[in-house]
Structure 1
């Protein structure tokens, strides 16, 4: 049989689909079939890396059975990067080759992916087989595909294959059709699956991770779990797919972690054979998980996330363990329990060897060949009307009744304990949407021309002076934090440069991300610089609480200045009263919370337990208030930073010519308002809310025109963001980190606390 295998993905950026096609071709070739592969191919050039988010392609030869279809571009998709060709030359080359090839079957992989396989759905006359590799519950991309004709095009397939029930769910949910499950195959060693490795008493648990540093693979979750795991049992982690330089930014500490980079199949198989477990902590978007079956083929059990694609492969308790996705604590405890129970690991290794046989390539290739034969056996339409209907995709090519898209329940039900987090995220998202809508309505009501005029009339020298003051205030905050760090960590000897680096990077992250990710970001930066980051991080996080207490004091002082300068009963400043209540409530919470949670009595409340743990972590960070020297520096420099920001706010009032209506008291009120509203940011830099706070103060209490007040809010925030970029950008470069790397690690920064270990499971008789 002459077969064409068509891939939409770049051959030199190999992922799961490419590896599947390559192995399938080899198996079909051994069975005597004539196979040709068609796929895009990216050369290793500087432009190629620029078009693929900085990633360089692998240096691969063009085998004689591969027809290159030209270069690709890296597109973010489904939590990863899809390297697809948008170029017409790829389509024209494929059409020409398929017309001249005389193929009995054309096998399209990921037929909905643009543009190569998408075009082949309607341009190819030979029998078509389509394999769906993707699992995704994201509605927008599939709805867009359906709107532009995906369901009609997919009717042209003679046979539809899905690599798992999860992939079939995606097809049924969004496109309809009938799917036969043919899993990804795995190559078994020539001598069969090796016997399980026997781990000697006291020997470290060997863990392997295989994958890329993309969000959905969950590597930061594993790194957090591993840091906690090593605190209780000996363990080693080997990472395949990232170099040491690529992995370093994600590590709080690198002890026990080895990165091998991209390796060939022989090296990967050897590493898996020597491992005790493979860990696959993916967060979702996985349809199968070929790395799981590769571990089975090496006689290695797996610890994987309990997600749809992995549940199809792993038999929990037999060849692996499934843990809640994104739960670093559960992952660490599972690995810890396996480290303490070598017998259980051995039993699961034996189960993994049995499971590997189910996915052996000869068995899988036989099922694919059966699909080819069934595709060729589909009868031709008997009438001209039927031929036209099939050609247009109006009716299914297989001659069976059409099966439409179905509203199927999700394969990833939301755990009870995560629903609260989703509700909070939804509330923040709704608040952000309301902020954007409010900003649009405000601009429309005031008039863009008036706002633009206010911005144009601002004085650049005064704006630059305000920017300089903001930068100085950031340095003053760093000096204050340095004093707090010295008091809390006298043995670590933190340097001023450490505090400056952490402060500037933290401010940059706060200015460019929603939520308060700047705080864990700066704590991570400093903890990494002070030695054993896992031990230092809780104390460093505690020092941030000390600065927060000083900030509350600064807000109280600003509030006092605000009311003294305008008079509490002047009748124009009611809007400010509500802002004044916030820091008072925050201060009361900080003072009362320790008394509420530090009781030694046992409790079943998860919130109280977490509160007690938080108090224990931050207590060492508050030492500065018991040391007069460091305490004096911390308080004076932090309050000095606020004073510089206060003056900067006034300077920007001068820049817009508002000093006659709004004086230093107004500047204090503005600084007070924007910081109170920033306690729970709903957008990056609190855009929209920030301007609303400025307008509430200037319009409601000082009678400034709305256009000028909004213009002031825009300029003030632009200066703050510019300060964050000017100071934080060079700090990131000096630290050898990217913005994405800091963000990814900050999202998974909370230290993991493990429960007591379980007793080992008894062996079966």
Structure 2
């Protein structure tokens, strides 16, 4: 099958949707399909051979963050050239309701279109001024995929259609086989050591780093060997804001990391902490930590609860509650048997998210879309529970 995939967000800056697109593309290629990915990126950016750069992106506030997208006449011309050269059997676009090349690709497409919705947003400021475009885009989508129950609910309740619920995938073997960073995680003893991990934009409020910081400071004062490993972009001065000077040496900032180093980072800690406060429709980093064999402590968000199988595959704490997080961390750091139990449950749960499994489900949607020659939206609820 000839498959064209469009990523709306720039490949010059890592992100969850970008990772999803590359992992899906590689899984489909591994299953014998021909795949081309179109994404915003500078012409000289180092890209996988299957990625075609769509030009430089510009920042756009979106879903509590800043997305880097490409849009406009130049982008439209590039999208149309790519579609013409590819002659794809199916076009798969991600987040088509953002003002991006995903939207442009849908509007320019002539064959079956599959759309994946990653967020649970019903509208954005930009789209509120472009309702005509929104309707045109929705009418041209043949089949819809939602990465979570929350994202699917938006399709049903707000966007006049159903969607197949297919979660984000994870390359389980890549994370399970990664080598820890030198010197990590170190000893873990009752009331003494241990290593915690956090990955993300710690300056972004919804990622919840202040909740982790407020739990870590009192915990570290009572546990002389406790350390915190942080990966992700941001000003180190903001990372250490609110942390007493005597504890600065217990926090290591790796900065922006490659995918390989992300896997190593997750293998380097005793507990991975996800203190997010909202705006999450799935929880990709949770499945990656689970694949790495690292027990997860996460906010009790609906999306996280679903990924962690109601708390069976990870410890949940009340969202935004630093004291609750501190108690959960202290209990698990002092209980290696419980950490092992959580890791074992997580290994079982995460197997259903392994990319070869997920990619085969996506292929089923492609086949359904190709069969839907009348261009109507496919209500694929029949496979939503698979």
TM-score, normalised via structure 1 length = 0.46
The number of residue pairs the alignment matches comes to: 370
d(CA) in 2 for partners of 1:270, 1:140: 36
**1:136–1:29 Cα change, 3 Å:** same
Task: Report which stretch shifted further, 346-355 or 268-277.
Answer: 268-277
- SS at 2:307's partner residue? coil
d(CA) in 2 for partners of 1:87, 1:114: 9
Which residue number corresponds to residue 264 of structure 1? 258
Kindly state the Cα deviation for residue 244 of structure 1 after the two structures are TM-superposed.
6.9
- SS at 2:198's partner residue? strand
d(CA) in 1 for partners of 2:39, 2:174: 29
**Structure 1 segment 150-299 matched on structure 2, within 5 A:** 150-189=134-173, 200-202=188-190, 204-212=193-201, 213-234=203-224, 235-242=226-233, 245=236, 247-253=238-244, 254-299=248-293
- SS at 1:36's partner residue? strand
Structure 1, unpaired ranges of 5+: 44-58, 382-389, 391-395, 402-765
Residues 97 and 134, structure 2, Cα contact 8 Å, conserved in 1: yes
Alignment of 1:87 with 2:72, yes or no, is yes
Higher relative contact order (CA 8 A, sep 6+): 2
Alignment of 1:118 with 2:109, yes or no, is no
**Structure 1 segment 208-607 matched on structure 2, within 5 A:** 208-212=197-201, 213-234=203-224, 235-242=226-233, 245=236, 247-253=238-244, 254-378=248-372, 380-381=373-374, 396-398=376-378
Residues 10 and 84, structure 1, Cα contact 8 Å, conserved in 2: yes
Kindly state the Cα deviation for residue 307 of structure 1 after the two structures are TM-superposed.
1.3
Residues 69 and 89, structure 1, Cα contact 8 Å, conserved in 2: no
Greater strand share, structure number: 2
Residues 207 and 238, structure 1, Cα contact 8 Å, conserved in 2: yes
**Structure 1 segment 661-740 matched on structure 2, within 5 A:** none
Alignment of 1:2 with 2:2, yes or no, is yes
**1:187–1:88 Cα change, 3 Å:** same
d(CA) in 1 for partners of 2:213, 2:174: 34
- SS at 2:298's partner residue? strand
**1:330–1:146 Cα change, 3 Å:** farther
Kindly state the Cα deviation for residue 205 of structure 1 after the two structures are TM-superposed.
2.2
Alignment of 1:109 with 2:94, yes or no, is yes
Residues 199 and 231, structure 2, Cα contact 8 Å, conserved in 1: yes
Residues 120 and 281, structure 2, Cα contact 8 Å, conserved in 1: yes
Residues 8 and 101, structure 2, Cα contact 8 Å, conserved in 1: yes
d(CA) in 2 for partners of 1:285, 1:256: 29
Deviations 1:677-709 (A, max 9, x none): xxxxxxxxxxxxxxxxxxxxxxxxxxxxxxxxx
Kindly state the Cα deviation for residue 30 of structure 1 after the two structures are TM-superposed.
1.0
Deviations 1:643-681 (A, max 9, x none): xxxxxxxxxxxxxxxxxxxxxxxxxxxxxxxxxxxxxxx
**1:145–1:199 Cα change, 3 Å:** farther
**Structure 1 segment 25-44 matched on structure 2, within 5 A:** 25-42=25-42
Greater helix share, structure number: 1
Structure 2, unpaired ranges of 5+: 179-184, 381-386
Deviations 1:175-215 (A, max 9, x none): 12111111111112269679xx9965345121100101211
Residues 207 and 277, structure 1, Cα contact 8 Å, conserved in 2: yes
Residues 242 and 259, structure 1, Cα contact 8 Å, conserved in 2: no
Kindly state the Cα deviation for residue 349 of structure 1 after the two structures are TM-superposed.
1.2
d(CA) in 2 for partners of 1:130, 1:269: 28
d(CA) in 1 for partners of 2:154, 2:175: 38
Bigger CA radius of gyration: 1
Residues 233 and 336, structure 1, Cα contact 8 Å, conserved in 2: no
**1:60–1:352 Cα change, 3 Å:** farther
- SS at 1:41's partner residue? coil
**1:295–1:358 Cα change, 3 Å:** same
**1:143–1:94 Cα change, 3 Å:** closer
**1:72–1:142 Cα change, 3 Å:** closer
Residues 146 and 174, structure 1, Cα contact 8 Å, conserved in 2: no
Kindly state the Cα deviation for residue 324 of structure 1 after the two structures are TM-superposed.
1.7
Kindly state the Cα deviation for residue 339 of structure 1 after the two structures are TM-superposed.
1.9
Which residue number corresponds to residue 132 of structure 1? 117
d(CA) in 1 for partners of 2:65, 2:188: 39
d(CA) in 2 for partners of 1:308, 1:22: 26
